[in-house]
Structure 1
Amino acid sequence: VERVYHGKVDRDLVISGVILHDIFKPLTYQVEENGAYRPTPLAERLDHLTLIVSEMVRRDFPLNLVHIVCAHHGGEAGPIWPRTIEALVCHLADVTDSRLNGEVLRAARYLSREATGEELNIVSSKEAFEVVHSKVVGGWDRVRRSVEKMRQKRFGVP
């Protein structure tokens, strides 16, 4: 940002915001046996954003850092739009990460379907990246083997 746009950015705030913004997600999601996530009982009442922002305010974190965390979902999905460059950088990084994850999941489902003729419900990022990587390093045959290995692990099917 500084080099390209000639604006000043507090890198420490950005890094702190990136580290803290989802720190309470493990309290609000459980991993199922198939790798999918489901909300915890806590998440049925409070979301991870409410938890972290309230904790940061309680512990007297700097307002600019609280704002970064509070605004990381943006105004459409969260309570407030980013109003500082640091908050905007964190928001855009979070959006980009989410989109990348979605695209990799979509690509893995496509590769699985094309390689085996049937769709394996790929639910975790780890599985998705494994399928995409298998195509890069070993072509369609490697995709087939990766998908079969996942199917065996899930369903115990030889």
Structure 2
Amino acid sequence: MEALIDLAQKIEDNKLREIIISFLKNPEISIETFGDEMAFEEAPASKIYHHSYRGGLIEHTIGVTFIAIEIANILQKVHQIDFINKDLIIAGGILHDLYKPLTYHQAGSKYERSRLGSKIDHTSLAFAEAWTRKFPLDLIHLILSHHGKGSSAPPRSLEALILHVADYVDSNLLGDILIGAQKIMERAGKPQKIENSKFAAIICDIMAKEGIDGVKKFLET
């Protein structure tokens, strides 16, 4: 959680910063769990698509938050939209997937739904805990709406829309890179589990520049 606590330090509003840091230091959920869940630092961000490897969730969380900040900066610099609450965006980015590890269980080299995750999704868990802890309503809305139109409450604020777009960009971009790299390695006759997005990006880059023979040569070294 230290990386997320460092990220939370960017929140300028003292009260909101204290709320988020306190939450990160004590993220225990109020409802019953079953012991087959994963720790945040070990969890993937998805079972088979984006960031689907150990530690993938924390990478995704940090990535989404920084993308959201940059979107807000661009809107301010290019379009003079200077009233976006960046503190709210940072807080939402940090919290949006915080309880996803409770919905996953590691079974060998694969990830499956935990007992809790088979009944309740991560967004509902985060909403319930944020509501129980009396978080600001605008922040709860960001958590609820980060999946966009598919959410139980679609984005109805600029901050919520920015967070949704950031989540979409990070998950789809890195997901396509990861899946693309896996297909390339299968074509090269060297299928293997990819453990980080950088390696996946390297495979895709070599394929683009040197073709399948370049990939084979790289994987043989």
- Which TM class, normalised by the smaller chain length? 0.7 to 0.9
Confirm or deny that 1:101 pairs with 2:101.
no
Q: Is the 8 A contact 2:84 2:159 kept in 1?
A: yes
Summarize the alignment of residues 4-153 of structure 1 with structure 2, pairs less than 5 Å apart.
Answer: 4-7=78-81, 8-34=83-109, 36-76=110-150, 78-116=151-189, 120=191, 122=193, 126-127=195-196, 129-134=198-203, 136=205, 139-140=214-215, 141-145=217-221
Larger Rg: 1
Q: Aligned partners of 2:204 and 2:158: how far apart in 1?
A: 38
Offset from partner CA, 1:100-152 (integer Å, 9 cap, x none):
12211222123203322x6x264x5x35642432565794211345xxxxxxx
Q: How far has the Cα of 1:42 moved from its partner?
A: 0.3
Q: Is the 8 A contact 1:111 1:143 kept in 2?
A: no
Question: Corresponding residue for 1:155?
Answer: none
- With normalisation by structure 1, the TM-score equals 0.77
Q: Are the structure 2 counterparts of residues 63 and 91 from structure 1 closer, same or farther at C-alpha, using a change threshold of 3 Å? A: same
Q: Are the structure 2 counterparts of residues 135 and 22 from structure 1 closer, same or farther at C-alpha, using a change threshold of 3 Å? A: closer
Q: Are the structure 2 counterparts of residues 121 and 81 from structure 1 closer, same or farther at C-alpha, using a change threshold of 3 Å? A: farther
The runs of 5 or more residues in structure 2 that have no matched partner are 1-74
Q: Are the structure 2 counterparts of residues 109 and 45 from structure 1 closer, same or farther at C-alpha, using a change threshold of 3 Å? A: same
Letter in 1 for 2:161: L
Q: Are the structure 2 counterparts of residues 84 and 16 from structure 1 closer, same or farther at C-alpha, using a change threshold of 3 Å? A: same
The runs of 5 or more residues in structure 1 that have no matched partner are 146-158
Q: Are the structure 2 counterparts of residues 135 and 79 from structure 1 closer, same or farther at C-alpha, using a change threshold of 3 Å? A: closer
Q: Which has the higher contact order (CA 8 A, sep 6+)?
A: 2
Q: Are the structure 2 counterparts of residues 113 and 100 from structure 1 closer, same or farther at C-alpha, using a change threshold of 3 Å? A: same
Cα-Cα RMSD:
2.3
Q: Aligned partners of 1:74 and 1:101: how far apart in 2?
A: 18
Identity between Structure 1 and Structure 2 (%): 32
Larger helix share, 1 or 2: 1
Q: Is the 8 A contact 1:131 1:143 kept in 2?
A: no
